[in-house]
Structures are given as C-alpha cells and as structure tokens.
C-alpha cells in the first residue's frame, strides 16, 4: 500500500493515514505482484534475460511495461463507463502512445511484442495481445484489454522460438519443483528425489515425501499458465495432465516392484508403505480431481496454494451451509494431525459442506429439466456468527 501511495506519514506507534483515492493504484500493484509470482514459478526468475535479435531485456522489464498498459486500459475503462459506452476504441500513433505510457527507450523496443500487426495476416494470438496495429497506428479495445490474463500474454511471447530466454541455473519449471520440496521440508517431512537411470530402468521422480509411518507421497510437479478457454484446457490435459498421470503410473510400478533400488537412493525406507501418487499444479483448475486407473490405482491432484495452507498453515478453507436457501459462509477447518492433513490433500472438496435444493421445471413434452441455482455467500450470517463467537 505504501508503493501505491495509499499510506501516508507512517511512523511506528502513531496514526496511519490512508488515502482511499489510491485504491486503483493499489489494485494495479497487487495485480502486477500476482503476475510476477506466477511468471516466476514458470521461469524461475523475473530477472532472467531475454534476447530478441539484437534487443536484450529482462522479464521484469516486460512486467514493468505491462503495469503501464494495465494503468492505461483502466483509465480508458473508466472513461468508457463515465460516458456510458459499451466499447471504447483507443487510437494513437506509436510516438503518441509512447509519450502517454511514458516509455523508456527499451520499453519502446519491447512494445511491438504486445501488439498484433494486422497487415501480417497472422492472427493466431489476437486474443492474447492488448494492442492491434496497422502501420504505425496502435489500437486498444476496452473492456477486452482489462480482462486479459497478462501472465498468459507474457508466456505466449516468451514461448515463441524467436525469443531466447536465459533461464537461471535450473531449467524452466524446476524452480517450482524446488518450491514444493521446500514446502514439505520446512514442515519437517523427509523428502527425497530419484534421478533417471535408463540402463537400470529407474525413472526420474520429482519428489517422494515420507509423510507418516504408513504413507509415501510420490509427486509430479506441473507448472504452467492457467488454461482459460476450452482449447487451452484440452491442451493442458493432453500435454501436461495425461503425461503426469502416465509418469506417476510408471513411478508407482517402479517403487512397488523394485523397492530396494529406491531405498538405496533415499534416506528413508518405502518398505511396507502405501504409495500415493499426486500431481501438484500451480493453479487450481483441477484441484480435487481424481484419476482412477483400470487396476484401481488412484492419481490425485491439488494446487500448490491449497497444499501450502494444509501443510504449512495447518488449515483448509471450507464452506458451511447456513440452512437457508443456497447460502454459505466461509469457515476455515483446522488440521491438527498428519492423518487430517492427508485426508485434506486427497479429498479437498470433502470440506465443501453443502446442501442441494433441486428445482424441477416440467415441460409440455412430459419431460423435465433441473434449474441450477447459483450458491451465494451470506455476508450477514458470516458477520453474525463472528459476533456470536
């Protein structure tokens, strides 16, 4: 909030002065922080160098430009709402746009990466760019640019072959694996890894967690930009999720058929323990999903944010049905034992306590359809319960 200018004259032990007119600046900074964290999970560091022809910059430079674009799109959105317009088309020359955004010389070199050149007839990424340009004229359409997923915009740019990202010492995605390993290690769990040895038919295993006296968690970490559209969801399932499931099946087979080879490479024993395969992703799209194999093996899926709350903060967010219509109140469930934590990891949706109110609409044909009623958060009930406590 200090960065946004929302806190003024802060001195420890004295009154804090809040400037509520800086609310939008605070939201923009918070959005940039979230974008940076998501990109850092995938690329390891926002200070990684990027090369494009003779232009050298960092991912942080790109995020700085994104912040200016977000600020401009929000200003255009406010203007549109004040004038009661459904859509607003912003049009500027490259020179004037650079002045309005207050771009540095480096940012002027980067800006074209965030635009689609309509003359090129290559419109495959049109939905992932904040600008369109024809010759030297740039266009921005709101509210479309306000709703852009900018971590995906950045990832789409950086994933192109013409861009060379100088990753840190560890390859793309490995930093996320380290994050998961540290999460369990810091909570006091024994964690091990196994390197691939093709000659001995030993697969690579991202992480094995000695969870308790009876269970071993076999982890496959998958770090990607969250899919949003149907095609992206299908691509994520095909290119990441299904491969992760197959990899875990292979690893469970290795651990159960050749435990001695695993024990030699670990500081703990897996003998006579249940092997539980888990996919950990950096987004919640498939959290709680179970993949049941023909032989009965179940592969579980959870996101790192929810996992962190369970392992590090000893609770899982849950919803409590108020008993009135479709109203719910949030209520965190405390997890005191390893058994409770394991149950929350394997079945997080079990804590979404609710009740279905079915509404059936009869049709003239003699059939009927069910009308879905969206659940709602009962804020008044939530406040009342806090007062009662």
47, 153: one domain: yes
140, 200: one domain: no
137, 125: one domain: yes
Quote the pLDDT of residue 175: 78
What range defines the domain where residue 224 resides?
174-313
Question: Which tens digits make up the pLDDT trace of 60-70?
Answer: 999 999 999 99
Question: Which tens digits make up the pLDDT trace of 183-222?
Answer: 999 999 999 999 888 888 899 899 999 999 999 999 999 9
- Does any domain span residue 159? yes
Other Cβ atoms within 10 Å of 21 Cβ, number = 9
Quote the pLDDT of residue 26: 78
Residues of the chain with pLDDT > 70, as a percent, come to 84
With beta carbons less than 8 A apart as the criterion, state whether 56 and 50 touch. Answer: yes
Which residue, of 124, 145, 166, is where some domain finishes?
166
- Does any domain span residue 89? yes
Question: Which tens digits make up the pLDDT trace of 41-52?
Answer: 888 789 989 999
Kindly state the tokens that stand for 15: 């009154």
- Does any domain span residue 118? yes
122, 55: one domain: yes
Shortest CA distance to 220 belongs to which of 201, 234, 205?
Answer: 205
255, 228: one domain: yes
Which residue, of 313, 330, 362, is where some domain finishes?
313
DSSP character string of 170-195: S-TTHHHHHHHHHHHHHTT-EEEEE-
Residues of the chain with pLDDT > 90, as a percent, come to 45
Q: What is the CATH number of the domain that holds 208?
A: 3.40.1350
H/E run at residue 24 = helix 23-43
H/E run at residue 277 = strand 274-281
Q: Is the pLDDT of residue 162 over 70?
A: yes
Residue with more model confidence, 342 or 355: 342
Average pLDDT of span 228-245: 86
Quote the pLDDT of residue 366: 76
H/E run at residue 253 = helix 242-257
308, 182: one domain: yes
pLDDT band at 22 (very low <50, low <70, confident <90, very high): low
Separation CA 94–CA 76 (nearest Å): 17
Residue that is written with structure tokens 């709350």 in the block: 309
Which residue, of 313, 333, 348, is where some domain finishes?
313
Question: Which tens digits make up the pLDDT trace of 246-263?
Answer: 999 999 999 999 999 999
Q: Is the pLDDT of residue 17 over 70?
A: no
Quote the pLDDT of residue 389: 42
Quote the pLDDT of residue 387: 47
Q: Which residues of 65-95 are buried (b: 16+ CB within 10 A; e: fewer)?
A: bbbbbbbbbbebbeebeeeeeeebebebebe
């Amino acid at each position: 909030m200090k960065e946004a200018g929302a806190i003024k004259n802060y001195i420890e032990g004295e009154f804090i002065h809040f400037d509520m007119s800086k609310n939008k600046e605070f939201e923009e900074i918070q959005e940039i922080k979230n974008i940076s964290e998501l990109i850092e999970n995938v690329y390891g560091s926002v200070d990684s160098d990027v090369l494009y022809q003779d232009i050298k910059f960092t991912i942080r430079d790109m995020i700085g430009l994104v912040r200016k674009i977000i600020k401009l799109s929000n200003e255009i959105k406010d203007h549109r709402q004040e004038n009661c317009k459904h859509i607003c088309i912003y049009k500027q020359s490259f020179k004037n746009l650079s002045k309005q955004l207050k771009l540095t010389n480096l940012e002027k070199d980067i800006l074209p990466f965030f635009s689609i050149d309509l003359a090129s007839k290559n419109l495959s990424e049109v939905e992932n760019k904040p600008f369109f340009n024809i010759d030297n004229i740039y266009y921005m359409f709101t509210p479309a640019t306000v709703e852009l997923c900018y971590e995906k915009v950045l990832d789409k740019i950086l994933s192109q072959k013409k861009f060379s990202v100088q990753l840190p010492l560890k390859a793309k995605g490995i930093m996320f694996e380290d994050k998961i390993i540290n999460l369990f290690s810091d909570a006091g769990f024994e964690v091990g890894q196994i390197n691939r040895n093709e000659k001995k038919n030993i697969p690579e295993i991202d992480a094995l967690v000695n969870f308790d006296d009876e269970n071993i968690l076999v982890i496959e970490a998958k770090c990607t930009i969250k899919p949003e559209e149907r095609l992206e969801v299908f691509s994520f399932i095909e290119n990441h999720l299904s491969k992760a499931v197959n990899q875990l099946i292979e690893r469970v087979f290795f651990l159960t058929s050749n435990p001695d080879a695993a024990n030699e490479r670990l500081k703990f024993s897996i003998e006579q323990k249940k092997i539980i395969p888990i996919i950990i992703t950096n987004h919640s799209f498939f959290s709680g999903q179970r993949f049941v194999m023909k032989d009965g093996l179940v592969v579980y899926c959870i996101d790192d944010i929810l996992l962190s709350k369970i392992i590090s903060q000893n609770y899982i967010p849950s919803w409590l049905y108020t008993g009135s219509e479709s109203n719910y109140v949030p209520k965190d469930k405390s997890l005191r034992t390893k058994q409770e934590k394991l149950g929350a990891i394997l079945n997080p949706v079990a804590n979404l306590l609710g009740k279905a109110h079915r509404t059936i609409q009869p049709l003239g044909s003699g059939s009927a359809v069910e009308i879905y009623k969206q659940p709602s958060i009962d804020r008044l009930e939530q406040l009342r319960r806090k007062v009662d406590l």
